[in-house]
Structure 1
Amino acid sequence: MHSLFKVHFNWGIYLILGLLIRLVFPNLSWLCYFAVMISLHQFMLLFYSIGHIIPVRYLLGSFMCLQMFIGPTLAYNGLDKFQRGYMKMQVPYQEYFAYVLPAVILFIIGLHIRAGLMEGEYVEEEKVKKFVNKNPQLPYIFVGIGFVASVAASFFRSELGFIFYLLSGFKFIGTFMIILGSRNVKPIVLAAVYGSVIATSLSRAMFHDLLTWVIFLGSVFAIKYKPRLEVKAMFAGAFVLLAVFIQMIKGDYRQATWKEGEEGGIEALQKTIEEGQEKKGIINMEKLAVSNIRINQGYIVTNIMKHVPAKEPHANGQELMVFMEAPILPRIIAPNKLNAGDREFFMKYSGMRIARGTSMGLSSVGDGYINFGTIGGAIFMLIYGMFFSEVLRLYKRFSKYFSILILFTPLVFYYPIRPDCELQTILGHLFKASFLIIFIFQVWKYNFRDDPEPSAA
């Protein structure tokens, strides 16, 4: 628990912000206020950790709070009136928070109970620099593999396509190695790698990749340059504004590109912004409510809580075997295993009806409730958090032989940090990414292994 309470943290600012929230929103219920304060604690821990570690645990906690606390709090306190049908919160806030508050708190405790000094997140800069100096071409090879795999992934489906998708993430790992191992920043590499993410995000109208890899890029830059608090605050503020801006225009942009046939790109984005300004402006309460759905996984959890056990009994752990089969067994052995965002499975336990081709996730919080109910689901979330922490501790253990291994944790936890994904997708990504990395490091272990430290005479 050292990493939750005995790290660099300004409790004075935390209490002042908490008081301001209470004064500005006096009608906020105490349950909602408590959820907001836990979220604020996680957000501030994430902020203060930047420059010291690759903050996987704090991202897991912050994103969980954003989707399970902040989004639902906004919905319960006014934004729900702009929603219809399944999109509304389906149970009273007291019932929702009675389950989700302890579930998320126990998840966060699980992440940190054996975290030690953030094991699996601390980068040994000098060892990485020494490795890159010894293998100066390897980061560029990783970047090249990433670009080739990005193109190849579109030609394959299922497991083989997913392998290329994972390999496409190597361009980010190569970029991190260049940043930490080189004396000067390589702007051409940065522009190529992150320019490709921007272009892909605009063409697909999907921005999660961009925001996630920007966070990891910022954390790696901060590890190298150790920015002052004011500089971190400036960049954090700019990132929040970018994220809010994307959320506010994303719906209109998708309407233009997905349904009206506009080609995704800078011109379509500019046109969307101009049309939004001509109508009701980019920011208004109705758009805020629509955007809140994208950070509110709680509305799906409330649909589950309304549907289970009233119309569908608790699974009592039986569905966990289905969840475990999906990420571990290849489809050639288990042809009927769950797909990511399985539509029938989602509708069975949420009671929501979604169109064919639509993919939605129950979330790990929802999966816990489906299998074990309120108390059992909260205990499940504790074990779930501990599992992630143990995976990070394993990476720490093997990083003493392979110092660059820690730089792969953003690729391994890219999906697990997303609370909107269902359990089989999260575990599938984690197992397959870890297996691929283990395979590569074993086959080329003499290339990736650090030089042994000289023994004392």
Structure 2
Amino acid sequence: MTLLSILGLITLGIILLRLFNKLGQSLPVIELLLAIAGLQWILGPIISYSSEVSHYKYYMYVPQETYMSFVVPAFVIFSAVALLWKKEIFTFDEADLSKYSGYGLKILLFGIAADIAGRFAPQSLAFFLFLLSQFKFIGAALLLFSSSKKERLLFYAAIGYLFVTSIYNALFHDFLLWSTFYFMLWALKYKPGVQKKIFILLAGLVFVISLQTAKAALRAEIWNGYEGDKIALFFNVLDQELSNTNFDDTEQEGLNVRLNQGWIISAIMKEVPEEEPFADGATVKEAVTASLLPRFLSPNKKKAGGQENFMKYTGLHLGKNTSMGMSIIGEAYANFGSFGGIFFMLIWGFFLSVYWNRIKALSENHPVLIFFIPLLFFQVVKAETELVVVLNHMVKASIVVALFFWAARKQLKWDI
């Protein structure tokens, strides 16, 4: 292991400790973002470099010294700027938040209505209605702070709904992210002690690892047209995986592939600039344009999905229905190289802290805004997501939330 690898692990450890300590005190979303990034950009690659098991495609394409010489400084600077520049947020107690719970059921029903409408709406409105449909989870989060036990049960029912829909689709990303955000809000209400936090986090880690081992087998069944009881199928598959005491090389390889985003970044570092010249900001300009202009004003703007940029800058082929992102840090290198990429990550960290500080300022007069933070950061916390997806979601979600507050206060006369 190189000295830079050790520095990366130390930085990740500091972030994880900060995330742990902030649970119950605030909403440590920036810490969560950095922790996910560190796990996928630093820890996953270190495990891959140290392991004798190697996937034929998902492996590290450049030596550890080369990879860490860019990724670790970029990650350290990104983390330092994002954490040190941002202001602490949310000193509200339960009484401050509970007075807004009366709007929770209305927002929940509004989100359900948007979800139903999205199934019949034209494609041009799909993303807008998707954002509105997420209001059902925001409404359920508000109900956690209700004085009514029955209304608080809707908060837990929302988690159950997410879990069931994830099983039926064999896609667990949304469930895991919303569950994490919900845990932050739950901790803000109940302020668990150190032991309870450790227990919940360890239980969550065991569940996620178990889910990852069972996910491939579940998808193989469901995506091939399984018509039986999918809930029972999930627990049968999970039981089989947990009963299997032979944790072989294939399973170890599969787990680290899901953790390790570094193989994509390393593929970019191998491909650029030897085979493909630096983009010199081209994908960044595309991302900014795509986020600011609606499609009817820019019909040729970049689409989400990442296929085109991924294949261009990694030199790897993707199947027709497969989408993968380069990640922000991979895109930074593809555009500007090592030094320029590190500077770009500094700018990105600064941008996130400024955005966060603006939310803090607004939340002082509108505390209910904190319940919308999971929606605003839904794509931002994903370490594998490319810039066009992140910016497009941030900008559009910010507009939708701003319009909601305007309509709620001015038209519906809500006291929020």
Instruction: Using structure 2 for the length normalisation, give the TM-score.
Output: 0.93
Q: Is the 8 A contact 2:143 2:155 kept in 1?
A: no
Give the Å deviation of 1:249. 1.3
Label 1:430 to 1:159 Cα distance change in 2 as closer, same or farther (>3 A).
farther
Label 1:104 to 1:122 Cα distance change in 2 as closer, same or farther (>3 A).
farther
State the match for 1:152 in structure 2. 117
Q: Is the 8 A contact 1:72 1:296 kept in 2?
A: yes
Q: Is the 8 A contact 2:98 2:146 kept in 1?
A: yes
Label 1:337 to 1:420 Cα distance change in 2 as closer, same or farther (>3 A).
same
State the match for 1:407 in structure 2. 371
Label 1:175 to 1:154 Cα distance change in 2 as closer, same or farther (>3 A).
same
State the match for 1:161 in structure 2. 126
Letter of the 2:348 counterpart = Y
**Partners of 1:437 and 1:223 in 2: CA distance:** 22
State the match for 1:362 in structure 2. 326
Label 1:370 to 1:265 Cα distance change in 2 as closer, same or farther (>3 A).
same
Give the Å deviation of 1:131. 3.6
Q: Is the 8 A contact 1:143 1:171 kept in 2?
A: yes
Matched, 1:67 2:53: no
Give the Å deviation of 1:90. 0.4
State the match for 1:196 in structure 2. 161
**Partners of 1:267 and 1:169 in 2: CA distance:** 27
Matched, 1:43 2:16: yes
Q: Is the 8 A contact 2:32 2:381 kept in 1?
A: yes
Label 1:204 to 1:150 Cα distance change in 2 as closer, same or farther (>3 A).
same
With 441-450 and 377-386 compared, the bigger mean Cα shift is at 441-450
**Partners of 2:259 and 2:118 in 1: CA distance:** 28
Matched, 1:83 2:55: yes
**Partners of 2:296 and 2:384 in 1: CA distance:** 27
Letter of the 1:384 counterpart = W
Matched, 1:130 2:103: no
Instruction: Using structure 1 for the length normalisation, give the TM-score.
Output: 0.85
Label 1:114 to 1:152 Cα distance change in 2 as closer, same or farther (>3 A).
same
Give the Å deviation of 1:199. 1.1
State the match for 1:420 in structure 2. 384
Give the Å deviation of 1:284. 3.3
After superposition, residues 106-125 of structure 1 pair within 5 angstroms as 106-116=77-87, 118-119=88-89, 122-123=91-92, 125=94
Q: Is the 8 A contact 1:176 1:407 kept in 2?
A: yes
**Partners of 2:26 and 2:246 in 1: CA distance:** 36
Q: Is the 8 A contact 2:210 2:242 kept in 1?
A: no
Give the Å deviation of 1:185. 6.8
Matched, 1:308 2:272: yes
**Partners of 2:307 and 2:295 in 1: CA distance:** 18
With 301-310 and 395-404 compared, the bigger mean Cα shift is at 395-404
- 1:120-154 deviations in whole A, cap 9, x for unaligned? x554644323344xxx2x21011112222233333
After superposition, residues 330-341 of structure 1 pair within 5 angstroms as 330-341=294-305
Q: Any gaps of 5 or more consecutive residues in structure 2?
A: none
**Partners of 2:206 and 2:265 in 1: CA distance:** 28
**Partners of 1:41 and 1:233 in 2: CA distance:** 16
**Partners of 1:304 and 1:245 in 2: CA distance:** 31
For residue 104 of structure 1, the aligned residue among 58, 75, 90 is: 75
Label 1:182 to 1:288 Cα distance change in 2 as closer, same or farther (>3 A).
farther
**Partners of 1:173 and 1:144 in 2: CA distance:** 11
Letter of the 1:233 counterpart = I
State the match for 1:258 in structure 2. 223
**Partners of 1:157 and 1:36 in 2: CA distance:** 47
Number of corresponding residues: 414
Q: Is the 8 A contact 1:256 1:272 kept in 2?
A: no
Give the Å deviation of 1:241. 0.8
Q: Any gaps of 5 or more consecutive residues in structure 1?
A: 1-27, 451-457
For residue 171 of structure 2, the aligned residue among 203, 206, 229 is: 206
What secondary structure does 2:300 align onto? coil
With 414-423 and 169-178 compared, the bigger mean Cα shift is at 169-178
CA RMSD of aligned residues (A): 2.1
State the match for 1:95 in structure 2. 66
Letter of the 2:62 counterpart = V
Q: Percent of counterpart pairs with the same letter?
A: 31
After superposition, residues 328-407 of structure 1 pair within 5 angstroms as 328-407=292-371
- 1:364-397 deviations in whole A, cap 9, x for unaligned? 0011111111011011111111111111111111
Letter of the 2:75 counterpart = V
Q: Is the 8 A contact 2:210 2:238 kept in 1?
A: no
- 1:56-104 deviations in whole A, cap 9, x for unaligned? 111111011011011111111116x33003x111000110111100111
What secondary structure does 2:365 align onto? coil
Give the Å deviation of 1:449. 4.5
Give the Å deviation of 1:192. 2.9
Letter of the 1:170 counterpart = F
**Partners of 2:29 and 2:213 in 1: CA distance:** 27
Give the Å deviation of 1:184. 4.3
State the match for 2:405 in structure 1. 441
**Partners of 1:294 and 1:372 in 2: CA distance:** 27
